[in-house]
């Protein structure tokens, strides 16, 4: 008798297309992400990155970044096998890495170029002052 390990069919969160909307209700997010609403509500208590705003009627309104966070959490938990605590730590380290990202390199201007630009701007300013 051979023992084979059953593999769960991976749900590909990368295949999910999120509509271009400002806000999504919890039912919409539930259908998009293929998760029950109670899981989304539970994750709100476990992951500080997941903070949907509430409408005046108390309805949870998820923004695009919240939906993206749900998809990322789902991938960490269901596809990559993280525990909730491990996923929370992973998300925290990812957000720190984004904050510590190197700034965009700006082209270095030579002092001669800057003097030429300054001179050109002063000429334009002189023409504008002469018109008044």
The answer, yes or no, to whether residue 1 has pLDDT greater than 50, is no
Residue 61 tokens, joined: 């309104």
pLDDT given at position 19:
82
- Please report whether residue 17 resides in a domain: no
- Please report whether residue 128 resides in a domain: no
Q: For 104-127, write each residue's pLDDT tens digit.
A: 676 776 788 888 999 999 999 999
| Exposure class string for 46-83: b at 16+ Cβ within 10 A, else e | ebebbebeeeeeeebbbeeebbebbbbbbbbbeeeebe
* pTM score of the predicted model: 0.63
- For range 60-85, the mean pLDDT: 95
Residue 113 tokens, joined: 């170029």
- Please report whether residue 34 resides in a domain: yes
- Please report whether residue 78 resides in a domain: yes
The answer, yes or no, to whether residue 13 has pLDDT greater than 70, is no
The answer, yes or no, to whether residue 2 has pLDDT greater than 50, is no
- Please report whether residue 5 resides in a domain: no
- Please report whether residue 67 resides in a domain: yes
Mean pLDDT, the chain, rounded, equals 85
Domain count, the chain: 1
Half-sphere exposure of 80 (CA within 13 A, CB side): 14
- Please report whether residue 39 resides in a domain: yes
Name the more confident of 62 and 16: 62
Domain of 58 in residue numbering reads as 22-98
Rounded CA-CA distance 82/34 in Å is 19
pLDDT given at position 7:
43
Q: For 22-59, write each residue's pLDDT tens digit.
A: 999 999 999 999 999 999 999 999 999 999 999 999 99
Which CATH number belongs to the domain containing residue 26 in this structure?
Answer: 1.10.1660.10
Residue 45 tokens, joined: 């208590």
Q: List CB contacts of 96: < 8 A, sequence separation 6 or more.
A: none
Per the document, the length of the chain is 132
Rounded CA-CA distance 7/91 in Å is 26
């Amino acid at each position: 008798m051979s023992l084979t390990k059953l593999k769960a069919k991976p749900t590909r969160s990368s295949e999910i297309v999120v509509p271009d909307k400002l806000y999504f209700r919890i039912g919409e997010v539930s259908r998009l992400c293929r998760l029950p609403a109670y899981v989304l509500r539970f994750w709100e208590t476990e992951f500080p990155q997941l903070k949907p705003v509430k409408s005046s009627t108390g309805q949870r309104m998820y923004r695009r970044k919240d939906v993206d966070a749900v998809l990322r959490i789902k991938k960490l938990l269901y596809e990559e096998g993280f525990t909730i605590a491990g996923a929370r730590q992973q998300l925290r380290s990812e957000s720190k890495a984004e904050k510590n990202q190197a700034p965009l390199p700006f082209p270095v201007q030579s002092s001669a170029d800057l003097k030429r630009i300054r001179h050109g701007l002063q000429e334009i300013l002189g023409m504008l002052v002469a018109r008044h």
